[in-house]
């Protein structure tokens, strides 16, 4: 007798949300829709044009994060200096008020980066479908939720119908096995995956992360890993929920309580790939072989160990690849074969939806505390900033005294937001400035026109702040 | 959404891989609450120098490419941020079709919401179109009905496209209106969900 092939975690979430099919296109129910000021105004305008309403305001949550300043938030939106940013923030405010959508405005302690706030509030739960007009929505996959970015037309579609028209992606599993070395964390694992499969390697796939190194990660670490999935071209990353997930969720404001908790737990436990599930592609990575990583170029796939050097274009046979390497080296102001630790840093940015959670700040503060104990501070020529992912992360860090460690060493301790990750608000690089950044994209001009971004983990960024150049954190800890 | 049936237009070569949406429309142009007018920010850092002067060498600034309707670009076009401002900016600039060897998922999807046709061809075909597009002032034709791109020389390349997407693009259909035809199925799904997962409707 033939047995049905097993299902992957992705298959199961997909099947559980299939509402209908029209001409081979699926209509998927959406459990949680996160919105922010940048990709929603045209969607609300579209609803008004067609006389449509928000179908499920209760399944929608709004924050202000992309273009908020990271100081003076208590002054309110009216005092935001940038006219266009202020208009966008005010537009969000009135749109969500009209629609009756829950909103954490700028300055509210619950506000922060959308991908920090959703999990922190317990809105993000296993087995859910979650979308947001932001590509780093993949972050929420850490909970075993199918979560990905959508465009503004789709934001409008979800607002109007609480569904998304979708085509099913292929299944890829990335198994990261073994123990990571000291000084190596989730960010390094994520960069190692992108370095391995390339920035388009995941296109058309949903990636499920598995293996002992993934199981060993905290929820914060899993969020970092899933966050960067989009930089490998895959819309969504997934980690099957386990006790780590449930422990994180328990007691959060929007997590189920009492009898509902037990009911939810039983439901969530069904969300893992079957033993005999078939993956279209499988990649295995040895965690023990991964050193602290940094990017040298202008694509997240331009990854090297901190002990490595910028590549030599002459080593590439293909002319287009050689030209791309030359262009990236030129933009980054690096010489072929130059050891990456020679790169002198102007700005250190610890923050973003990739690395601004409490565990990230703890890991960075630990390095900074070690330096302080040795009588060292942020190098005099470096501007170093820490931007917590939400008001609640900020308060937690302050309760633990982390802010004191950072400021004693010369870091700026700022208010929550996307900040210098994308240069849409006052925090940005000047032309030619070089940053050690815990964010997610090292594209040309991403952090400010002409800015040069090196991606790395929070402890590595802290080490760079102290050394004044890219440095191997293992020498500090 | 505008329908796309056939386009006869100038094509401009952009032989770079991994052109991300930050490059297509930099962040300073995202602080708008409108869809229109984004063309001025299209490829801003390619088109203008630090002082806001046009860079004369950039392909879209050259006189022979004025009025361009088609871009022929390198691999993995549209990667990065999900901003739909990228297709809006391309459309506002007059571009109705982008041809490449591959596109990033979210960008590809966003194109179909706006009547911007992304065409995937093989590497040698894209290369050939880029060569023929050099010098500008030639007409390249893209026919969605027959799924073909015809180069200025008359060489014709066939492309694949999902039949359903093609049908919608040809008619310029509104996705929300279509989905709302399934509103009963959505109602039923919601009722079942409320019973099975009551904690989600708190």
What's this model's pTM, rounded to 2 decimal places? 0.95
Per-residue model confidence as pLDDT tens digits over B10-60: 999 999 999 999 999 999 999 999 999 999 999 999 999 989 999 999 999
**Strands A146-149 vs A129-132: parallel, antiparallel or unpaired:** parallel
Per-residue model confidence as pLDDT tens digits over B74-86: 999 999 999 999 9
What local confidence, expressed as pLDDT, does residue A1 receive?
45
> Which position has the token pair 């050097």?
A309
Choose the closest CB to A22 out of B109, B182, B193. Answer: B182
> How is residue A109 written in tokens?
């302690």
Q: CA nearest A426 in B: which residue?
A: B28
Task: Look over chain A and give the mean of its residue pLDDT values, rounded to a whole number.
Answer: 97
Alpha carbon of B28 to those of A115, A373, B50, B192: distances in Å? 22, 42, 14, 44
Cβ pair B82:A135 closer than 8 A? yes
For residue B72, what is the enclosing H or E element?
strand B70-73
Cβ pair B179:A444 closer than 8 A? no
**Nearest-5° Cα angle at A305, A302 to A309:** 75
- All residues of chain B having their beta carbon less than 8 Å from the beta carbon of residue A204 are 105
Q: CA nearest B20 in A: which residue?
A: A443
> Which position has the token pair 């422990």?
A247
What local confidence, expressed as pLDDT, does residue B202 receive?
64
What local confidence, expressed as pLDDT, does residue A320 receive?
82
> How is residue A454 written in tokens?
């090196």
What local confidence, expressed as pLDDT, does residue A3 receive?
57
- Kindly state the average pLDDT of the residues A367-389: 98
Return the percent helix, strand and coil in chain B, to nearest 5: 40, 20, 40
Determine contact: A270 vs chain B, CB below 8 A.
no
The maximal CA–CA distance of chain B, rounded, in angstroms, is 64
- Kindly state the average pLDDT of the residues A37-58: 96
What local confidence, expressed as pLDDT, does residue B174 receive?
84
Cβ pair B80:A441 closer than 8 A? yes
Q: How far apart are CA B21 and CA B43, in angstroms?
A: 9
> How is residue A134 written in tokens?
């932001």
Alpha carbon of A236 to those of A10, A78, A144: distances in Å? 10, 36, 10
Per-residue model confidence as pLDDT tens digits over A61-82: 999 999 999 999 999 999 999 9
Cβ pair B31:A424 closer than 8 A? yes
Q: How far apart are CA B139 and CA B18, in angstroms?
A: 26
Three-state secondary structure call for residue B130: helix
Q: CA nearest B86 in A: which residue?
A: A151
Per-residue model confidence as pLDDT tens digits over A432-449: 999 999 999 999 999 999
Listed in sequence order, the residues at least 6 apart from A438 whose beta carbon sits closer than 8 Å to its beta carbon are: A187, A349, A350, A351, A352, A354, A355, A356, A360, A364, A455, A456, A457, A458, A461
Res B121 pLDDT > 90:
yes
Res B124 pLDDT > 80:
yes
More confident residue, A177 or B138: A177
Interface mutation target, options B31, B186, B198, chain A, most CBs of A under 10 Å: B31
Q: How far apart are CA A287 and CA B171, in angstroms?
A: 51
Res A2 pLDDT > 70:
no
Res A143 pLDDT > 70:
yes
What local confidence, expressed as pLDDT, does residue B201 receive?
87
- All residues of chain B having their beta carbon less than 8 Å from the beta carbon of residue A13 are none
Per-residue model confidence as pLDDT tens digits over A205-246: 999 999 999 999 999 999 999 999 999 999 999 999 999 999
Q: CA nearest A17 in B: which residue?
A: B189
Cβ pair A445:B162 closer than 8 A? no
Q: How far apart are CA B37 and CA B20, in angstroms?
A: 20
Q: Which of residues 365-424 of A touch B (CB under 8 A)?
A: 422-424
What local confidence, expressed as pLDDT, does residue B135 receive?
84
Determine contact: A426 vs chain B, CB below 8 A.
no
DSSP string, A367-385: HHHHHHHTT--S-TT-EEE
A464 vs chain B: nearest CA distance in angstroms?
Answer: 26
Q: HEC states along chain A?
A: CCCCCECCHHHHHHHHCEEEEECCEEEEECCEEEECCCCCHHHHHHHHHCCCCCCCHHHEEEECCCCCCCCCHHHCHHHCCCHHHHHHHHHHHHHHHHHCCEEECCCCCCCECHHHHHHHCCCCCCCCEEEECCHHHHHHHHHCCEEEECCHHHHHHHHHHCEEEECCCEEEEEEEECCCCCCCCHHHHHHHHHHHHCCCCCCCEEEEEECHHHHCCCHHHHHHHHHHHHHHCCCEEEECCCHHHHHHHCCCCCCCCCHHHHHHHHHHCCCCCCCCECCCEEEEEEHHHCCCEEECCCCCCCEEECCCECCCHHHCCCHHHHHHHHHHHHHHCCCCCCEHHHCECCEEEECCCCCCCHHHHHHHHHHHHHHHHCCCCCCCCCEEEECCCEHHHHHHHHHCCHHHHHHHHCCEECCCCCHHHCCCCCCCCCCCCEEEECCCCCCCCCCCCCCEEEECCHHHHHHHHHHCECCCHHHCC
Res A262 pLDDT > 50:
yes
Cβ pair A84:B32 closer than 8 A? yes
- All residues of chain B having their beta carbon less than 8 Å from the beta carbon of residue A41 are 32-33
Q: How far apart are CA A24 and CA B131, in angstroms?
A: 37
Output the CA torsion sign for A422, A424, A428, A433.
positive
Cα-flanking dihedrals φ and ψ of residue B108, to 5°?
Answer: -55, -45
| Start-to-end CA span in chain A (Å) | 59
Listed in sequence order, the residues at least 6 apart from A469 whose beta carbon sits closer than 8 Å to its beta carbon are: A341, A342, A343, A344, A345
């Amino acid at each position: 007798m033939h047995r049905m092939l097993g299902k992957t975690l992705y298959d199961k979430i997909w099947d559980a949300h299939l509402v209908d099919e029209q001409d081979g296109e699926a209509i998927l129910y959406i459990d949680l829709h996160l919105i922010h000021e940048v990709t929603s105004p045209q969607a609300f305008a579209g609803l008004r044009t067609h006389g449509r309403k928000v179908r499920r305001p209760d399944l929608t949550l709004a924050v202000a994060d992309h273009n908020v300043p990271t100081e003076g938030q208590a002054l309110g939106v009216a005092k935001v200096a940038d006219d266009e940013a202020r208009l966008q923030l005010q537009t969000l405010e009135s749109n969500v008020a009209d629609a009756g959508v829950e909103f954490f405005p700028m300055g509210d302690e619950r506000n922060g980066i959308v991908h920090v706030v959703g999990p922190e509030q317990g809105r993000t739960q296993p087995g859910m479908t979650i979308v947001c007009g932001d590509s780093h929505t993949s972050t929420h996959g850490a909970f075993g939720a199918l979560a990905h970015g959508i465009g503004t037309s789709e934001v409008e579609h979800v607002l109007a119908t609480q569904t998304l028209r979708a085509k099913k992606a292929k299944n890829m599993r990335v198994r990261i096995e073994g123990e990571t070395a000291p000084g190596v964390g989730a960010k390094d694992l994520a960069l190692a995956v992108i370095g391995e499969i390339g920035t388009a390697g995941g296109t058309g796939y949903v990636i499920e992360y598995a293996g002992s190194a993934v199981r060993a990660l905290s929820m914060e670490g899993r969020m970092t890993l899933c966050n960067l999935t989009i930089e490998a071209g895959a819309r969504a990353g997934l980690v099957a929920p386990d006790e780590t997930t449930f422990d994180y969720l328990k007691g959060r404001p929007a997590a189920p309580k009492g009898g509902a908790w037990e009911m939810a737990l039983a439901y969530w436990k069904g969300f893992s790939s079957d033993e005999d599930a078939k993956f279209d592609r499988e990649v295995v990575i040895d965690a023990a072989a991964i050193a602290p990583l940094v990017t040298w170029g202008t694509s997240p796939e331009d990854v090297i160990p901190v002990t490595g050097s910028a590549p030599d274009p002459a080593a590439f046979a293909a002319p287009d690849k050689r030209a791309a390497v030359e262009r990236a080296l030129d933009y980054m102001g690096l010489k072929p074969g130059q050891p990456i630790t020679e790169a002198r840093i102007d700005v250190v940015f610890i923050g973003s939806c990739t690395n601004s959670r409490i565990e990230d700040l703890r890991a960075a503060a630990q390095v900074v505390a070690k330096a302080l104990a040795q009588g060292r501070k942020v190098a005099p020529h470096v501007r170093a900033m820490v931007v917590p992912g939400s008001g609640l992360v900020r308060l937690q860090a302050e309760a633990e005294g982390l802010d004191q460690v950072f400021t004693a060493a010369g870091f700026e301790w700022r208010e929550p937001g996307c900040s210098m990750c994308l240069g849409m608000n006052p925090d940005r690089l000047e032309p030619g400035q070089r940053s050690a950044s815990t964010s997610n994209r090292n594209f040309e001009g991403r952090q400010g026109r002409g800015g040069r971004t090196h991606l790395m983990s929070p402890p590595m960024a802290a080490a760079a702040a102290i050394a004044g150049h890219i440095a191997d954190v293992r020498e500090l800890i | 959404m505008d329908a796309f049936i056939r386009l006869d237009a100038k094509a401009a070569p952009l032989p770079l891989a991994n052109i991300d949406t930050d490059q297509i429309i930099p962040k300073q142009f995202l602080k708008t609450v409108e869809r229109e007018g984004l063309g001025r920010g299209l490829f801003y850092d390619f088109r203008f120098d630090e002082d806001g002067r046009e860079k004369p060498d950039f392909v879209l600034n050259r006189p022979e490419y004025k009025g361009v309707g088609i871009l022929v670009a390198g691999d993995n076009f549209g990667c990065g941020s999900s901003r739909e401002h990228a297709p809006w900016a391309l459309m506002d600039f007059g571009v109705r079709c982008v041809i490449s060897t591959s596109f990033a998922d979210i960008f590809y999807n966003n194109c179909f919401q706006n009547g911007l046709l992304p065409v995937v061809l093989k590497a040698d075909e894209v290369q050939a179109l880029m060569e023929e597009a050099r010098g500008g002032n030639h007409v390249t034709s893209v026919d969605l009905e027959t799924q073909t791109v015809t180069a200025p020389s008359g060489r014709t390349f066939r492309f694949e496209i999902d039949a359903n997407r093609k049908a919608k693009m040809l008619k310029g259909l509104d996705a929300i209106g279509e989905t709302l035809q399934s509103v009963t199925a959505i109602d039923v799904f919601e009722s079942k969900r409320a019973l099975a997962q009551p904690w989600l409707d708190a």
